[in-house]
Structure 1
Amino acid sequence: MLKPYPLQFQPEFKERVWGGRGLEQLGLTPPQGHIGEGWMIADHANGTTSVLNGALAGLGLDEIRTQYGQEWLGTKGVSEQGGRFPLLIKLLDCNDDLSVQVHPTDDYAGLPQGELGKTEMWYVMDAKPGAKIIYGLQEGVTRESLREALENGTVMDTLQQVPVEAGDTFFIPAGTVHALCAGVIVAEIQQNSDTTYRLYDYNRPGLDGKPRELHIEDSLNVTSYEGAGATTMKTSGTKPGEWLELARCPYFVVEKGVIAGDWSLNTTEDSFTVLVICEGSGSISWDDALEPIAYQAGQCFLLPANLGQYTLNGSATVLRSYLP
């Protein structure tokens, strides 16, 4: 019987008009071009990651889900309807502003066949001085006033702009109008969805030189004008050896931890654990390990639900994600 071990995947890189080369500073090796997204752990029609290490090297996450199911991914990690892996883990390099966008909930009638809604969270890994994001609407903006602003070119006046620095975290429930802006590198934990409705894109051309498609009616339909419960926090006070909860919703829990030495932890049978290494380096050891696996900033690991006891060693900042 194959014993569980921490899985590392080959990222799927995505070229985006707003992307750059910033993922290289995390030790990743994206292809040439404006690379905006590294899909680090993905099981989606638009990108599936394959295992890099150990006995399962070369297998896609979809194949692992099919072959090892609840034993490896947890009782909550595999749906009875044969659904995909529930989360999508990305690193984003925002060399330019992203489009102003909004995501639907699971029950939106306009969703593509088989697609989920998209609730997500961001952890800012790096931010240039003066960097900001767009995070929600100004007080009192309605569907009618938002449509009017789009028509007369004043949409930016309806949006809240928030300065950001490394360590900031943002929870973005479906229905929250948002956009990352130039100068940030972000870890994103989200529902396994690739559905984005663009509200505004600065009238710029896409990579093909043509204007990118906007989705005005869908955007107006799914926007939560009274607010969807978006929350933000500073995390610089995180103490070594303690988990700080950054986000909790029906789709995921995300916590931040600071490793200083050895930290002994456990997986549970109901969910896999995802680790995103934000800074620093060290190693992961576990009961059946012949030797530890080294980790460094920019790497992500999927710990199977049946891994059991494991130890994080080193000096690092990590995000831990699992199903609630």
Structure 2
Amino acid sequence: MKSYPLQFQPEMKERVWGGRALERFGFKLPEGAIGEGWMIGDHPNGTTKVINGELAGLGLDEIREKYGKTLFGTKGFSEKNGRFPLLIKLLDCEDDLSVQVHPNDHYENLAAGELGKTEMWYILDAKPGAKIIYGMKDGVTRESLAEAIAENRIMDCLQEVPVEAGDSFYIPAGTVHALGAGVLVAEIQQNSDTTYRLYDYNRPGLDGKMRELHIEDSLNVIAYEGSGSTRMKTDLAEAGTWLTLASSPFFTVEKGLVGPQWELTTTPDSFVILVIADGNGTLQWADGQIATKPGDCFLLPADLGSYSLEGNMTVIRSYLP
């Protein structure tokens, strides 16, 4: 088989905080409040299937088992569970997400085979006045946070940050965070579905029951002395250069402007994931080409080699360090 860029059928997830904004990318959504589109996933809670080319119909897990390091690269597997190491999502936040935190790979209460969750957000769109919760105020300790939770004043401990399109946030495990209403986000994360909720605005879930909180686990995994989180504006002045948005042990994420043509290549050690943030163009490789539009996500095999991007668009590129 000749390698080619893979596209997948997203796994759409209904969430109490979701909406319908992912329709703007041309996705056909199921009924309900759709908060997450799992665009590229190899997880028991969501495994995406290829929709183009020779591998159409195969799940990412089946491709992993059949083609292994040829397509994913020598680094392209989680050392802990053997799965594809990243999960790529588009998030539509019609309402506020719960205040939450994620564990690292070494937390003793992780489910068997589950990874920790370091992630990053790139803000695709934000309504005027949109905010997120990003970390805690200086001086908050486990004891003072536990006291605030018990007294129902956790918001006094948290930092609110205004956001706009183009903002980038790196969120290592242990960072308290929450997306706010009115934002549309591309999320690159470890392949994990473990979230510990600290606070959920006393609202019922989709089943009408109050959603579970995970106070003790949250207090255990929070990085009280700082997690290494960083945020940045990502304005780019010229095409054809990469701006690093996040550099972690689990992924490198970069932003680039295409215009009019950009010659690139993959390397044998890692796949490349491209998320089209805005604009339109074409992805070309030795044996073909694909028209691109906002919201498109592509998995480029490690052995693809040379490829090019043409048009006028903003691209988020992710690969393994």
TM (normalized to structure 1)?
0.98
- Per the TM alignment, residue 28 of structure 1 is displaced from its structure 2 partner at its CA by 1.6
Alignment of structure 1 residues 63-102 onto 2, 5 Å: 63-79=62-78, 83-102=82-101
Aligned to 1:158: 157
Aligned to 1:142: 141
Contact 2:198/2:218 (CA < 8 Å) preserved in 1? yes
Contact 1:27/1:297 (CA < 8 Å) preserved in 2? no
Partner Cα distance (1:256, 1:245) in 2: 7
Partner Cα distance (1:58, 1:80) in 2: 27
1:58 alignment partner, SS class: coil
- Per the TM alignment, residue 82 of structure 1 is displaced from its structure 2 partner at its CA by 6.0
Q: Which runs of 5+ in 2 are unaligned?
A: none
Contact 1:51/1:57 (CA < 8 Å) preserved in 2? yes
Once the two structures are superposed, residues 212-271 of structure 1 have per-residue CA deviations (whole angstroms, 9 ceiling, x without a partner) of: 000000000000011100000001235211000000010000000111111000000000
Aligned to 2:296: 299
Partner Cα distance (1:238, 1:297) in 2: 20
Partner Cα distance (1:117, 1:79) in 2: 11
Matched, 1:313 2:301: no
Alignment of structure 1 residues 187-226 onto 2, 5 Å: 187-226=186-225
Alignment of structure 1 residues 109-188 onto 2, 5 Å: 109-188=108-187
Contact 1:238/1:256 (CA < 8 Å) preserved in 2? no
Alignment of structure 1 residues 226-265 onto 2, 5 Å: 226-265=225-264
Alignment of structure 1 residues 52-71 onto 2, 5 Å: 52-71=51-70
Contact 1:133/1:163 (CA < 8 Å) preserved in 2? yes
Partner Cα distance (2:80, 2:33) in 1: 37
1:7 alignment partner, SS class: coil
Q: Which runs of 5+ in 1 are unaligned?
A: none
Matched, 1:106 2:122: no
Partner Cα distance (1:294, 1:42) in 2: 22
Partner Cα distance (1:182, 1:26) in 2: 19
Contact 1:274/1:322 (CA < 8 Å) preserved in 2? yes
1:55 alignment partner, SS class: coil
Distance 1:83 1:28, change over 3 A: same
1:207 alignment partner, SS class: coil
1:88 alignment partner, SS class: strand
- Per the TM alignment, residue 153 of structure 1 is displaced from its structure 2 partner at its CA by 1.1
- Per the TM alignment, residue 79 of structure 1 is displaced from its structure 2 partner at its CA by 4.9
Partner Cα distance (2:104, 2:95) in 1: 27
TM (normalized to structure 2)?
0.99
Aligned to 2:270: 271
Contact 1:266/1:308 (CA < 8 Å) preserved in 2? yes
Partner Cα distance (1:251, 1:80) in 2: 11
Q: Aligned AA for 1:304? A: P
Partner Cα distance (2:14, 2:268) in 1: 37
**% same residue:** 70
2:124 alignment partner, SS class: strand
Q: How many residues align?
A: 321
Contact 1:102/1:199 (CA < 8 Å) preserved in 2? yes
Divergent runs of 4+, >3 A: 79-82
Contact 2:100/2:196 (CA < 8 Å) preserved in 1? yes
Contact 2:253/2:317 (CA < 8 Å) preserved in 1? yes
Partner Cα distance (1:232, 1:254) in 2: 13
Partner Cα distance (1:238, 1:97) in 2: 33
